[in-house]
Amino acid sequence: MPRVDADLKLDFKDVLFRPKRSSLKSRSEVDLQRTFTFRNSKQTYIGIPIIAANMDTTGTFEMAQVLSKHTLFTAIHKHYSVEDWKNFAASHPDLSVWIPSHPGHRLKSWKKRKWNLEKSTVPALKYICLDVANGYSEYFVEFVKKVREKFPKHTIMAGNVVTGEMVEELILSGADIIKVGIGPGSVCTTRIKTGVGYPQLSAVIECADSAHGLKGHIISDGGCSCPGDVAKAFGAGADFVMMGGMLAGHDQCSGEVIEKNGKKYKLFYGMSSDTAMKKYTGGVAEYRASEGRTVEVPYKGDVENTIRDVLGGLRSTCTYVGAAKLKELSRRTTFIRVTQQSNLSETCI
C-alpha cells in the first residue's frame, strides 16, 4: 500500500527569519568563519563554508582561484584531465578544492581520480567529492566504504540524499559530509521528470539533526536563488551551502559569452541535461531521460562582486537575529511561514 506523509514540508520560499534583539553594532562585527573537525577523516577545516557546485560551468579552476581568496571552497567538476590537474597543482599548490569521483560503470573515471590522489598529482589534496544523483543506491553505499578504506585520512563528501536515515548510513559508511538535495536546483528537472524530491528547507532541518547526532556534517545543495536563501540554509542547520545557479554567468565560469540583441549571456545547464550528456557521453542513453535543462544566464562579469553580495547578505541576516558568529545562526533562528516574501511587484514604479 502506498503511504502518504501528511506532515507539511517547507522550501526556502515558504519562510522568513523572525528578527530578534541584537547587541551587534555593525555587520562588520559578524564572524562568518567556521571551524569543523570531521568525524571520519579527523581533519580540521577553517573557512567560510560556502562551496561552488561541481558542475562544469561553475566548478572550474578559475572559480577556485577567486573563491579561495575568501576562504570559500570549490568542488571541481569531473571532466578535467590528469594533465589539467598537474598544471593546476603546479601553479596553485596551496588551493583547497574538492576532487570529484563517480561510482558506477565509469571505472576509468574513478581510476583517473584515484591516480591523482595516490601519485600525488595534487600534493595538498585532502577532499574527495563522491557525487551521484541518487544516493539511495546500495552500490553507492558500498562505494563510499571502499573509498574510505582506500583513503582513511581524506575528508569525503557524499550524496545526494534528503532523509535522515540515509544521512546516517552514509556517515557510518565513512562519509564526513553529506550532500542534501534532490531536485531543488535551478536547472534540475528531476522533480518534473520523476516526481521524486523533498522541499529543501525541511530536508536540511531533518538531515542536519541526523548528521549532528553522529558528529557528521551536511551540505545544503541546491535551491538558493538569492543571498537570503543561503542564510536560510545555514539557519536551518546546514554546515555548508553549495551554490550553482547563483555563480553561473561569470567570467570564471566555463563557456563563451553569447551576444543576442545587444545583451550578453553565458550558458548554464544541469549535468543530466541534453547539453551535458551530448558534450561528454555522446547523447542521452535510450534507457534514461534528461533531468536537466539549459538556460542562457545574463552575463555577470567577475564573480568577486557576487561573492561579496552573498557574504554581505549573510552578515546582515546575522545582525537581524543577533548572531555574532555564523556558528550561532541556527540557534538564533526562528522561521515564520509566509505566503509572500517580497514586496516587489511588476506594477511598482
Known binder of ligand: residue 182? yes
Alpha-carbon torsion, ordered 271, 239, 209, 103, to 10 deg: 30
Q: Please give the Cα distance from 290 to 19 (Å, whole number).
A: 42
Known binder of ligand: residue 191? yes
Residues 6+ away with beta carbon under 8 Å from 141? 169, 170, 173
Averaged pLDDT, 202-229: 98
In this prediction, residue 254 carries a pLDDT of 84
For 101-160, the pLDDT digits (tens) are: 655 434 445 555 555 555 545 556 789 999 888 999 999 999 999 999 999 999 999 999
DSSP state of 264: E
Reply yes or no on whether the pLDDT at 346 is more than 60.
no
In this prediction, residue 297 carries a pLDDT of 87
> Where are the chain's structural domains?
23-335
Q: Please give the Cα distance from 183 to 199 (Å, whole number).
A: 9
Average pLDDT, the chain: 86
Of 23-32, 43-52, 173-182, 293-302, the range with the lowest mean pLDDT is: 293-302
Q: Please give the Cα distance from 80 to 216 (Å, whole number).
A: 29
Known binder of ligand: residue 272? yes
pLDDT band at 338 (very low <50, low <70, confident <90, very high): very high
Averaged pLDDT, 190-206: 93
In this prediction, residue 120 carries a pLDDT of 47
Known binder of ligand: residue 228? no
Of residues 290 and 186, the one with the higher pLDDT is 186
Q: Please give the Cα distance from 325 to 30 (Å, whole number).
A: 5
Residue 108 grid cell: 576509468
Asked if 315 contacts 326 with a C-beta cutoff of 8 angstroms, the reply is: no
Residues 6+ away with beta carbon under 8 Å from 89? 121, 122, 123, 125
Reply yes or no on whether the pLDDT at 198 is more than 90.
yes
Asked if 314 contacts 32 with a C-beta cutoff of 8 angstroms, the reply is: yes
Instruction: Answer yes or no: CATH 3.20.20.70 is held by domain 23-335.
Output: yes
Known binder of ligand: residue 348? no
Asked if 294 contacts 268 with a C-beta cutoff of 8 angstroms, the reply is: yes
The distance of Cα 58 from the centroid of its chain, to the nearest Å, equals 11
Reply yes or no on whether the pLDDT at 345 is more than 70.
no
Known binder of ligand: residue 241? no
In this prediction, residue 114 carries a pLDDT of 59
Known binder of ligand: residue 27? yes
For 13-52, the pLDDT digits (tens) are: 999 999 999 999 899 999 999 999 999 999 999 999 999 9
Please say whether the dihedral angle defined by the alpha carbons of residues 296, 300, 304 and 308, taken in this order, is positive or negative.
Answer: negative
Residues classed as catalytic: 188, 190
For 249-262, the pLDDT digits (tens) are: 999 998 888 898 88
DSSP state of 233: H
In this prediction, residue 191 carries a pLDDT of 86
Asked if 117 contacts 144 with a C-beta cutoff of 8 angstroms, the reply is: no
Q: Please give the Cα distance from 129 to 280 (Å, whole number).
A: 19
For 221-275, the pLDDT digits (tens) are: 999 999 999 999 999 999 999 999 999 999 999 888 889 888 888 877 655 555 6
Residue 324 grid cell: 555574532
Residue 103 grid cell: 561510482
In this prediction, residue 269 carries a pLDDT of 66
Q: Please give the Cα distance from 96 to 114 (Å, whole number).
A: 17
Confidence (pTM):
0.90
Question: φ, ψ for residue 100 (rounded to 5)?
Answer: -85, 155
